[in-house]
Amino acid sequence: MKIIAVTACPSGVAHTYMAAEALKKACAKAGVDCSVETQGSIGIEDALTDADIAEATAVVLTTDMPIKGAERFEKLPKIRLTAGQVIKSAEAIVAKVQKELG
């Protein structure tokens, strides 16, 4: 199982990276492969590759602002949450994906 994500927030600083880190930690704890692209104030970092997307079980997209290149994920199950929700509930998000798509 692999979860991919794109995190972004209006200021492109704290919440973007906090959400990415929370999701990475939750996935590591659950033994789930995870790749996260951030779209912050300094641009896109750790861009998801075509291989990442092809291998993914689901994608988490933050909804605080439009995600650049969201059309890349049209064939994947999507979980759309605010960055704050991802920060607060990353373990529950991963558990839900495992339960429903694992």
34 is catalytic: no
For residue 72, the 8-state DSSP code is G
Report d(CA 76, CA 8) in Å as an integer.
Answer: 19
| Phi, psi angles (nearest 5°) of residue 4 | -115, 160
Please tell me the distance from the alpha carbon of residue 50 to that of residue 44, in angstroms, as a whole number.
Answer: 15
Three-state DSSP state, 31: coil
The residue from 3, 4, 5, 9 that is catalytic is 9
**Which residues carry out catalysis?**
9
